[in-house]
Each structure stands twice: as structure tokens, then as C-alpha cells.
Structure 1
């Protein structure tokens, strides 16, 4: 399993443009690849249109400067005599119209190509962004909790936007290369020696610029990627702990951190943008110098008259006018891609995460039919980055329909034991059997997912979205998919129905981000109602009643214990009184089961504790 935050030194080849493009290409769907080749045809047509517009300028200028030479041209004489043209204004008008038409058609095709390029990069960006989010979300729980959420959010949002920009730049880059090729070939037909001389000087100038900019752009790319992640982290920490921030008056600390990261980010982006664009300003005076030098040299040493030189230079200047933007665009695209190459690499790491299609099973339609029991056989567990065992050689048995409690001090391993039981974590050693099937075997991935789908789990920290109470109980469902009769039934069991009915909007009350408008006990009861709404026959509560007062807790526990005998209830609690109606209770200390209490034992121990 690849690590999202694995730290290692990356060789230059890992962030080379061609390497990144090849890796991205492998992640594009077949449909998008076919569309790419259609775009490629449009790019070639755009380049050919450029060539035609350049080719028509020479006869146009020749006719204007010396119409007699134009009429005596051997290549054009047959065409002129066939259509009955002479050197009159009719011929000038025709050539002018041809020149204007070619320029307009060329412009239209270029606009169409630009529109198609942006639309295509938009579609690919949407595909890749959804794929990145899906692959990240479907990773194993242990890998999820070992990664920094700020880094993931930055990669999926800000850095993904940069990847979409890279895709667009790559397409523009390809268009520019194709245009460069065709225009360069056209210039060679106009005058080989003059075209080679001008092209050599232009390409040499850009080559020098590239050699000087390469390492700087990589450095700026690294800074941009790092500071995007730090920005998100700073925002999450400051808003996530807003109560503590206000109480300790630490606002300025986070403001300073944000300002420092913002400055580093903007400065790196500004420097990268400068390196992208400054050659255009540099190349303009250089190009004028090259044209002036070329005109002087070829008129003096190659004995070209003005009648011959003006059409040739006009064609070359128009060709260079097309060549220069393409050359600058090619460099600019390369520089932009280079400046965000670290972000592209980060997103590619997420795209290349392993993905098992079996994890996409529908939770309702693919549940495991629990028939007999859950058995732990000598189960031990430690996290991959740790050498210390959290769960040590535990063996236990839970039968279908039993009400089972787990008790122990904070840090004893209770929650980790539950995570192993519900399939979120895999044992380091030992086996977990459900109806005699090992849920963690590689060949049982689908079985493991069905087991997870069969469980309703209420954790210590219940997440509530900024939506209505009904949508938080019917979590993951659209409003029109929620069964309101079932909603009322589970709300009564969770002892939250009376509170809801006192609200002006009742079940449609918006509860605020993370349930900010509710108390801790109300949040827990909504979490319990959510678990019951799922209609699972296995309920797992991890200290799900810890925020309830004694009276409310007794009422909720009584309602849970009255559920049918087909329902298996597993509860973690600090207070033994919470577990008094359980069939058995496992007591955990330092990752080991030190006692197993039956119903009578629980009652006796509770009496001893109260005496």
C-alpha cells in the first residue's frame, strides 16, 4: 500500500515533463484518448491554415510591388491565362480577396482549436479530479488516519486545479509545436538560407533562456506545492479550534502563519510567472535586430533587388510573426508545467493509489447475513509505524443476538478492538472469524466489505453535516429517499423525538456545521438514531452515551435492550452501570482481556463498586 505522505527524495526524472505526461496519459479513459486524437487533427488543420495564410502573402506583395514580374512568373502564367486575368485591378482584387480569406479562415480554425482545447482539458480535469477523490476515499482506514487531512485537501483541490491548468498548457504546447513545425517548413520554401539564419538565432535565444530557467522553475514548483498544503493546514487548525483560539487570544499567531505562507506562495508564483513571460519582451527587440541584420546581409552579399527582397522578407516577417507567438507559447507552456510539476506529481501519486472495485459494493444491497458468531483467535495488532502492540493475543466469542459490553480505562485498547471487530483495521497476527469465515483474507475482500455494510457504528466523535436533522439521521440519502415514518421510530428509541418536535422546523431544522447548534447529548442521540435508521442487525456503540445524563442514558439503553433478539449489540463504556443489562462484559487492560463478566457478575461488581 502506497503512503500518501511517504517522505523520499525524488530524482529529476520523476518530475520531467515527458514523464509526467506519460503517467497522466495512462490515467485517461479510452473515450478521452479518442477525443484527444480528434483534437490533434484540429491542431494539424490549424497549423496548415497558418501555412496557407503565410503562403498567400508572397503573391500578394509581389503583385503590389511589381505586377509585371507577377504576370511573367512561369508558375502563375498558366493560371492567369486560363482564367483570363491581366494586371488590371481585377487581378489585384482577386489576390487581395484570397489573402484576406485565408487569414480569416486561419483565424477561425485557430479560435475553434482553442475552444476545443479548453473544453477537452475541462473534461479530463473533471474525470481525473473525481478519480483522485474516489481513490483517496476508498483507501484503508489505517492509511486514512496516518495521513494529514490538510495535505489531502490541498492535493485534491488546489493542486488538482493546477493539474487541470497543466493539461490545458500541454495541449497548447502541442498545438504550438505542430504550428512551429509547419511554419518552419514553409519558411524554408520561401528562402532556405535566410529562413535557417533567422530560425537559428531565435531558437538559440530560447535555448539559452531554458537552460537558465530550468532549475529555478523546479525550485518555485516545490515552494508552491508546499505552501498550498501549509495554507490549508493553517485554515483547518484555526477554524477547527476556534473556541480555543479565541479563549487563548491566539488569533495573531495564525494570522502570522497564514501571512508568511501566503507571501511565500505568491512570491514563488510571481517569480515563476516572470520566468514564463519575460522572454516575449526580450525577443521582440532581438527579432527586429535579426530582421534588420538579415535584410542588410542578404541585399549586400546575395545581390537581391528590392523587387525580390520585399516579397521574400514580407513572407518571412509574416511567417516569423506566426513563429514568434508559437515559440513564446511553447516556452511559456513548458515553463508553466515546470513550475507546477511537484503539484502534478503529488496528484499522480493519488491517482496511482491501489483501488479495489469490491469496496464499491452498495451498503444496502450487499450486506452479510450474520448467522452464528464472531470469533477472535489470538488477535494482536500494532500500527504500521509503531513497534508497540495495542491489542495483545485476544481471544473472544460473541454470539448472534447477544448484548455485549467492553469496559476499560482510557487508552486500554477498547476502541481499537472495536475497529478490528468491524473490519476497519486488520490484525497484525491472529484471525477474526465471522460465521467461520476469516474476514481479513485477501481472497475475502468482498466478504469483508459485506461485513462492514452489515454494521451500524456510533463512534465517540459523531460527524454531523450542515444540513437538516432528517438528512443527518438518514445520512447519505437524498431528502426524497428518506422514510419519515422510520425516522420518527428511531428518533423515539434514541430519545430525541420530543426535542425535535419542539423546534420550529422540526426534522427540517438546519443544525449547523458539526452540529454547532446542538448539545453533546443531542449530537449523540442523533448519532444513535442514524445507526438505528440503517436497520442493521449488528449495532456497535463506542461510548455513544457518554454525553447523556443518567436518566436519558437509562431510557436509551432500555430502548436498545428491547430490540429484537436478532440484533447483536456491542457497547464500549466507561461506566459499568451502562452495561448492566449486557449478557457479558469484557474488561480490557493494556490491550489484554483480564476479565469476562456474566450478567450475575456485572450486578455483583456494580454493587461492590457502589458500596
Structure 2
């Protein structure tokens, strides 16, 4: 419990912890109202069993003098109404308290989920290379699990513990021996129960999280690659995997639901046993029947109130044990997010401006923790408004080098400088100069307009800039003929348009912000020859106006580049114009002379 509390507190800032203290104070007041509600039954039971006690009790006598009833029956009715009023006011207070508690924790749910999603989006590209989308989705869902499965139960435990403690203290004042016996017996039985089930519950929670993540993964993979799934007739594979992991997760949910019922039934049985034991104890003492009746009434009322509290505490502890793996995942991700946030702040204090050249100085890079380097001591320069291309066979390191130039990856050693300034001293300002066209274009299930002005609210979109970008990408005339124009929906991942149209919309997206640097990772790979020629004419027109960096598969698209960098096995083998490389680099000449063997871009 202490471990859970410490981890949960990590998720709250200083101001939120002060609010939690206020909430605890509200719950303490509520617990004393609970005790007052139970204690109010004593005068009524006392008067019913022995009316003459009114004259012997100073408090009851004073109340009687104030009320001045005509007969004892009227006095009892008035006391009963006072008791009812106390119960009603107590319940209203507890309802308001529950509302405040729910509001605070639900706001925390919004806060944590927003922070986590923000952290994922702001994490460096290398972070996403080591993660899969399904696991990140599952981690995001952990926020709801932690709020409902850890925070609410923890608050319940705190509140109900105060209520139980207050009631037990009151009972101690009335009969210390009986209360001590019940307390020790009940605590021992509950402790034994919790020790027996806690290890099993945590294991169930970890297994459920695994199968939930696998279920999401099967959905993403089966639907994300729907073409391949249908052509290769792999529907049954993804369906069987989905059913397998869903069944396992549901079976665990079923076990958890059954286990969550056990504490209530166990506590009910134990409570009845203890109440019967107390009855036997009082009878054997040979007490006055009236005293016996008052004490038993008080203990019975206390048991009726304490039993649900113990049941809620036990169920809450069981729930927390089940969902504790989700808390571990969430806290680890939040800690990582905080570290990344600090690092991002440190790396973005400089405002990078591009005036002269981009220079790579002795760049070394490795994706893994092993000693194998993917990029080995590359040094090169790209002048402003120059058009350059990176070519090479599969695994040569073309995309890796360009990813470092764009600031997506950081070199293991060496520096990438813009006019003498390291780009990682202000990578965000540096990336504002860049328009990027990946080989695989990601389109959202929205309009062409929204996909070109990616990540911008509709009210802030500039239609003239959108049309200009579409015209530059050689797709404007086609879109003008569509009934809905730029408001045409493209479908999920661009399913309603062709591969070439999808590619050109991706190109238009890169051009929308009128970037100084245009980076294209095999951007023409899905274009037909005629469209490719028209697009390359556009690129030629941009030459001398923008800095253009290409990763090329078709060597015909790079003939007119000012400089070509030929990479092989992570090294810069040669650089120069197209003709210069043909003359001095046999490897490049072989690639240019054997179109069928032209390399596919490196991953």
C-alpha cells in the first residue's frame, strides 16, 4: 500500500498534493459524521429499553426540557426525527464529498493522459524506433486503469479506514474487551486472506496487460495491411490471433470479477461469526438483559456499517493488486517523459538560421548498443540553394544520414552544423526550415485540405497556399475536377485515392509551409513516368531557390543535381556531379549501367 501511495504521489504536482490534503480533510469530517450517525442510535435504544434513564442522564434530561414533550412517546418520536435528520445531513455531505473526489480524480485522468500523449509525440524519433504503436496505445489506456483501478480504490481505502477507526475508537469507549477481541480477530482473518491472494492477483494483472496489447496489435496489423491481408488470404490468421488474445484477456477479466466478489462474501461470513461470538460472550457473562440489548444493538449497528467498509477496503486492495502493473508502466513512462522534456528544453535554446551551408563533421552513428556502426566517419557539405542526392544500395545508410540532417536522429559521434552551429542546440527551430516527403506517405482519414495543411486547425488553413502547394505537386488540376475539390475525403491512410495521388498530396504537404529545405525520401517512387517528369521539372524550377535533398532510387531523377553523395556500407565512397561519379566511381557506374539492379533505399 505504501509503495502504491508513493508511486501515485509521483503523478501529482505540489498544487495537486495540497488539493489532495484538502480532500483528505473532507473525508475525515465525513468519517466523524458516520460515527455520529451510529452513536445517535444509543439514546433511542436506551429509552425504549428503560425510559426512566432519561431522568438519570443529564444530556437526555436537558434535551427533554428543551423539547418539553407531553408524553414519553412524543419524546421518542422527536429523537427518532433528530436521528433521521443527522443521517440525511450526513449522507448529503458524503454525496458532495464523493462528487468532489470524483471531479478531482477525473481531472487528474485528463491531466495524466494529456501529459503522456504529449510526451509520446515530443519524444525523439529514436524512441519511436524502439517502440510499437500497439504498446504505446496500451500504455495510454493504462491512465484510465490507474485512475479507476488504483487512485479511486486508494481513496476508498483511506476514507473507509478513517470511518472504521473512528467507529472502533467509539466502541472501545463502550466495551474495550469485546472491541479488542473483534478487532484482533477480524484483522487477522483479513490479513491471511490478502496474503493468500495478492501474488496471484498481480500475476493476473500482468498477463491481462500482455494480452490486451497483443489484441490491439492484431487489430493494427490486420487492418493496417488490409491489401496484403486479403491478397495473401491471411484473414484467418489475424482473426485466430485476435480471438486467442481476446479470449485470454476476457478469461482473466472473468477470474478477476469472481475474485473481487470473494472479499465481500468472506467479510460477511466473518462478521456474522464474530457477532454470534459476541452474543454468546454477553449471554455467558450473565449481564442485565437491558444492558445486553443496548450493547448488542450498538455492536450490530456498528457491524452493519463496518462490514461494507471492510468489504470496500478489501475489494479496493484486491483491485489495486490486479492493476498494479499498469501503475508501474505509467510511472515509468511519466519518468521517461520528464527526462525527455528536460532534454528537449536543453537542446532547443538556440535559434538556428540557415544562411550558408550544412556541414557534417566526422559523423558516426549506431542504432543499437553493440559496437557495430551504421554510419562510419562521414564528412560532407551542402551549400544553401544547392540540390543534392544520396544514392547507394540497400543498407548503405542513405536514410539514416538524411534523418540526422533533419534532426530526427542524433549522431553517436561528430556534429551536424548549420553555419557553424550544432543543429541539436536548436533542433526545433532548425526543423521549421524543412519540408519532408517520406517514401510512405501517411494520410489521415480527413479531407485533402486537412492532409495538406497537416496539424493545423481548419480556421487557420490558407486555401491559397494549399492550392499553390497542390499545383507545385502536379495534382492541382486533378483535384479541381473532383466534386468536393480540396474537401474530398481520402479515406483511412488514403485508401480512396491511388498511390500516385497519395504521394503527390504528401509532396504538397511538404511544400505548404514554403520551406527553405525540401527533403524527399524517394518521393517519386509511386509516380508514373509522365507525372514523375512533370514533378522533376517542378523540382528543377525550385533549384537555385531552395535547398533540395533527395534520396534516390531512380538515378534518372538525380541527373541534374548539383552534387551526388554515393554511400556504401555506411561510408561516403564518392561525391560529385552525375558525370563526375560515372567517371571516377566504378560502383556508381555499375549502378547507373544496370537499372534492374538499382538499389532500393535503405531502411
Q: Deviations over 1:302-346 (max 9, x none)?
A: x32221111221111111111111111111111100001111111
Alignment of 1:512-591 (within 5 A): 512-563=491-542, 565-591=544-570
Of 315, 333, 339, 2:298 maps to: 315
**SS of residue paired to 2:33:** helix
* Residue in structure 1 matching 2:341, options 356, 360, 382: 356
Counterpart check, 1:331 vs 2:307: no
* 2:387–2:547 contact (8 Å) kept in structure 1: yes
Cα distance in 2 for residues equivalent to 1:533 and 1:82? 83
Contact 2:204–2:322 (8 Å) recurs in 1:
yes
> Could you tell me which residue of structure 1 aligns to residue 417 of structure 2?
433
Contact 1:419-1:425 at 8 Å conserved across structures: yes
Distance in 2 (alpha carbons) for counterparts of 1:325 and 1:128? 31
CA–CA distance in 1 between the matches of 2:163 and 2:522? 67
| Corresponding residue pairs, total | 586
Partner SS, residue 586 of structure 1 = strand
**What does residue 10 of structure 1 align with?**
none
- State TM-score, norm by structure 2: 0.92
Larger mean Cα displacement after TM superposition, 35-44 or 123-132: 35-44
Q: Structure 1 regions of 5+ residues with no counterpart? A: 1-16
Secondary structure of the corresponding residue to residue 460 of structure 1: coil
Match of 2:449 in 1: 470
Q: Does the CA contact (< 8 Å) of 1:586 and 1:593 recur in 2? A: yes
1:456 aligned residue (417, 420, 435): 435
* CA distance in structure 2 between the aligned counterparts of 1:376 and 1:394, rounded to whole angstroms: 7
- Are the aligned partners of 2:267 and 2:310 in contact in 1 as well (CA < 8 Å)? no
Aligned to 2:236: 252
Separation (CA, whole Å) in 1 of partners of 2:449 and 2:153:
45
Which residue of 1 is the match for residue 599 of structure 2?
none
| Alpha-carbon contact 1:80-1:86 (below 8 Å) kept | no
Aligned residue in 2 for 1:482: 461
| 8 Å Cα contact 2:558/2:578 also seen in 1 | no
For residue 114 of structure 1, what is the aligned residue in structure 2?
A: 98
Structure 1 206/87 Cα, relative in aligned 2: closer, same or farther at 3 Å? farther
**Distance in structure 2 (CA, Å) of the matches to 1:72 and 1:267:** 63
Matched, 1:93 2:77: yes
Partner of 1:229: 213
Structure 1 residues 168 and 405, CA, compared in 2 at 3 Å: closer, same or farther? Answer: same
Q: Secondary structure at the match of 1:136?
A: helix
- Once residues 88 and 508 of structure 1 are traced to their aligned partners in structure 2, the CA distance between those partners, rounded to angstroms, is 82
Across the aligned residues of Structure 1 and Structure 2, the Cα RMSD in angstroms comes to 2.4
Alignment CA distance shift 1:208-1:564 (3 Å): same
Give, in angstroms, the shift of residue 550 of structure 1.
Answer: 2.0
Contact 1:412–1:589 (CA under 8 A) maintained in structure 2: yes
Matched position secondary structure for 1:116: helix
Q: Which runs of 5+ in 2 are unaligned?
A: 596-603
Deviations 1:73-105 (A, max 9, x none): 355334444654575223112211111111112
| Structure 1 residue 600 displacement after superposition | 5.0
Q: Do the aligned residues in 1 keep the contact of 2:362 with 2:378 (CA within 8 Å)?
A: yes
| Range with bigger deviation, 73-82 or 95-104 | 73-82
1:48 equivalent in alignment to 2:46: no
| Aligned counterpart, 2:194 | 210
**Equivalent in the alignment of 2:15:** 31
TM-score with structure 1 setting the length: 0.91
CA 1:358–1:291 in 2, change beyond 3 Å: closer, same or farther? closer
- Contact kept? 2:352, 2:421, Cα under 8 Å: no
Aligned partner of 2:325 in structure 1 is 342
* Residue 609 of structure 1: how far off its partner (Å): 4.1
